[in-house]
Structure 1
Amino acid sequence: MKKWIVTSVLGASLLLSPLQAFANIGDQTLRPTMTHSDVRTLQSLLRSKGYFTYSGSYTTYFGSYTKSAVMSFQRAKGLTADGIAGRSTFNKLGVYNVNNAYLVDYAKRFQGTVYKWGGTTTSGFDCSGYINYVFKNSHNITLPRTVKEMWINTGYKVGSQEIGDLVFFSTTDSGASHMGIYVGNGKFIHAGSSTGVTISDMNNSYWKPRYYGTKRL
């Protein structure tokens, strides 16, 4: 009997959809008075947008300062201001439910597509047009159009890369001006102006000194 139960549970887990198999920020609804590691990220996201004004360090506790910040943000974005951070609130904060393995697999399908300034279709991409296309067509997620807007409004900053993260570079002026999707092993896929859609090494002599930062959705 025990063996049958274990086998059944394992079998059921394999039937989960790809999106169900990945835990993402926002999958756990955060409520006042609860303690959860995602509360730190929530506070960071709210602070980056000017809503979390508590001067102390981030915590795992969802207290009154966090509730007030969530409600202010919700009102500003036309959401029900209940102070509860669920999927809709996190989406407005720029973090989404993403199957990172599928995202990268989908992104790789367009290797060799030519670069086109302002391009947003498979006839030619610029770097942000490519990222927009991949997210929209793989997950129905609409991201900001430009690199700078995505750096400011999408995801949250992290100090190291995981598959599916957005990696940013400063190539033409100060601040983020180029981007791609991290695919693992120190590499990222992007629409390069001289290469089209290709996979490059973040640590090569060109990209390493121009690396600007990483954001996770």
Structure 2
Amino acid sequence: MKKLMMTLAVAGAIFIAPEVTEASVKMGDRGSSVETLQQSLASQGYNSSSNIDGVFGPKTLAAVQAYQLSNRISSPRGNFFGVAGPRTLSSLGVSGGSSNSTAASSSSSSSNSSQSTSVAGASSSSSNSGVISTARSLVGSPYVWGGTSPRGFDCSGFIQYSFAQNGKSVPRTVAQMWNAGSRVSSPSVGDLVFFETRTGPSHAGIYIGNNQFIHSGSSTGVTISNMSNPYWSRTYIGARSL
């Protein structure tokens, strides 16, 4: 009898595990908790505003994985890579990431807020999240001088392509982008950041938040870099909003 009671106790401890899963939003889930997650990812530039439908599909999975990688929450080697668990949800500000039901309860207010106000540190243009999503999907594309397609980009070709895929036309060269943009004192998500690697504005990228920008570097191809990097901080000359 004593052994039977111990066996039941162990079984009970194992049975508790699904409660951890309930505090997560994952592939295949549907409903307001997923919609809230999608809205939060979009506000950070990791999800397209057109992908807010309450269905956790491949696009949402990719957005969650990109967010987890950028914020060092998980990686492809992690057991929960692509699962929006408590840590991911809390980082996104989704009701502390306590549970799906908690996330769902905030869906309505989050939706109303996203429609009426700008997210702090982000552009009010709904197209910016789409631009960032497109740009992120191109990470790894090679650098090609004069390149304007995923087969190869130069820095301005990459920016022009990312915006064009979201219905916005921008000039072709870095100098033209610099002249066409409106000066801002500090960049918001979706703004362009410029660097003087040669005389005048000669390199540019798209600001994605958290002091990071995405760009096509001559030695790296499309990649994400930190503006605090000594080289980029030394050559940075300002930001422009298009």
Scaled to the shorter chain, the TM-score interval is 0.5 to 0.7
Whether 2:137 is the aligned partner of 1:112: answer no
Aligned to 1:99: 127
Distance 1:12 1:201, change over 3 A: closer
Shift of 1:161: 1.7
Aligned to 1:161: 187
- Aligned 8 A contact 1:158 1:215 in 2: yes
- Aligned 8 A contact 1:143 1:150 in 2: yes
Whether 2:156 is the aligned partner of 1:131: answer no
Aligned to 1:207: 232
Aligned to 2:174: 147
For 1:161, what is the secondary structure of its paired residue? coil
Structure 2 residue identity aligned to 1:129: G
Residue 171 of structure 1 is aligned with which of 197, 210, 214?
197
Compute the RMSD of aligned alpha carbons.
2.8
Distance 1:14 1:191, change over 3 A: same
Shift of 1:197: 0.1
Shift of 1:103: 1.8
Measure, in 2, the Cα distance between the counterparts of 1:98 and 1:170: 29
Alignment of 1:33-72 (within 5 A): none
Measure, in 2, the Cα distance between the counterparts of 1:168 and 1:183: 14
Aligned to 1:187: 212
Distance 1:206 1:151, change over 3 A: same
For 1:198, what is the secondary structure of its paired residue? strand
Shift of 1:145: 0.4
Cα displacement string for residues 116-170 of structure 1 (whole angstroms, at most 9, x for unaligned residues) = 0000001000000000000001x2111110000010013x111112111100000
Q: Point out the structure with the larger helix share.
A: 2
Aligned to 2:94: none
Structure 2 residue identity aligned to 1:168: F
Cα displacement string for residues 70-102 of structure 1 (whole angstroms, at most 9, x for unaligned residues) = xxxxxxxxxxxxxxxxxxxxxxxxxx9553223
Shift of 1:216: 1.5
Measure, in 2, the Cα distance between the counterparts of 1:151 and 1:124: 22
Measure, in 1, the Cα distance between the counterparts of 2:146 and 2:178: 18
Distance 1:201 1:11, change over 3 A: closer
TM-score normalised to structure 2 length: 0.50
Please, which runs of 5 or more residues in structure 1 have no aligned partner? 1-9, 24-95
Measure, in 1, the Cα distance between the counterparts of 2:117 and 2:161: 22
The answer to which of 115-124 and 200-209 deviates more is 200-209
For 1:206, what is the secondary structure of its paired residue? helix
Report sequence identity in percent.
47
Distance 1:124 1:162, change over 3 A: same
- Aligned 8 A contact 1:22 1:99 in 2: no
Measure, in 1, the Cα distance between the counterparts of 2:139 and 2:108: 35
Structure 2 residue identity aligned to 1:180: G
For 1:176, what is the secondary structure of its paired residue? coil
Aligned to 1:198: 223
**Aligned pair count?**
134
